[in-house]
Amino acid sequence: MTKQILCELTLIWKKLGKPYNHQDDQLFHEFCENHLWFDWIDEMNDEWDDSMGEPTHFIVVRDPIDRFTSMFGYVCGLYKNCGQGTDSIHVTAQLVYEMLMYEREPIGLNDLNQFKHHFEPHTWYCDIGLNRDLYEVVYYSPNRLLNMAQMQKIFDQAGIPIEYSKRVS
């Protein structure tokens, strides 16, 4: 979700609109990552730095069981990137536990970074566990309207003009 928000903000900032369909994840990732991803951050920071005050920190969190089962279907089922013998969600849970607790890499992974990225806890990013009071929490919902309403509150708090924030939906 963070990648999608940053990509959409980039497209708006560069006045490129939305040349992709949200339902077509492959096109989205190809367009955003291959053509725009992170090449604009310094330029955007320079341009927006003076007008944006203090940063607004937020995290999107999801029910851990829902998140794990979704990741299992996505990473293991769709991309076949959970290693050998991981047709079972129980085996995958054990492999994830061993990776996180003992830094054991599951045998037969196609892409360790993808695996880690999807299965590491939210709180490991940006030292959120140590800085919890700095973050506004957005609770992910399968209801897109609820997500949009929560994000709009964050955008309002951050002082993002409504003409930009309403387009990231």
Residue 73 lies in a domain: yes
**Do 34 and 74 belong together in one domain?**
no
pTM of the model: 0.60
State the pLDDT at residue 114: 82
Q: Are residues 5 and 33 in the same domain?
A: yes
Q: How far apart are CA 32 and CA 11, in angstroms?
A: 9
Residue 104, C-beta contacts closer than 8 angstroms, at least 6 positions apart: 95, 98
Q: What is the pLDDT of residue 145?
A: 92
Helix (H) or strand (E) holding 57: strand 57-61
Residue at which a domain ends, from 109, 126, 145: 109
- Residue 100 counted as domain residue: yes
Q: Are residues 15 and 47 in the same domain?
A: yes
Answer whether residue 160 is part of any domain. no
Cα angle 74, 79, 84; round to 5: 105
DSSP annotation of 127 reads G
Judge if 76 and 100 occupy the same domain: yes
What's residue 116's pLDDT? 85
**pLDDT on residue 55:** 78
Tell me whether residue 82 is in a domain: yes
pLDDT at 146: 93
The residues facing 85 across adjacent strands are: none
| φ and ψ of 136, to 5 deg | -85, 140
Q: State whether 43 and 74 are in the same domain.
A: no
Residue 129 located in a structural domain: no
pLDDT at 166: 77
93 occurs within a structural domain: yes
Q: Looking at the domain assignment, is residue 17 inside a domain?
A: yes
DSSP tag of 61: E
DSSP state of 78: I
CA 153 centroid distance within chain: 18
Per-residue confidence of the chain (169 residues) as pLDDT tens digits?
A: 556 666 666 666 555 555 545 555 555 555 566 555 445 455 555 555 555 567 788 888 889 899 899 889 988 888 888 887 778 899 899 989 998 899 898 888 888 888 888 888 877 766 777 888 888 899 999 898 999 999 999 989 888 888 878 776 5
Domain count, the chain: 2
57 lies in a domain? no
- Domain enclosing residue 91, as ranges: 64-109
- Both 76 and 44 in one domain: the answer is no
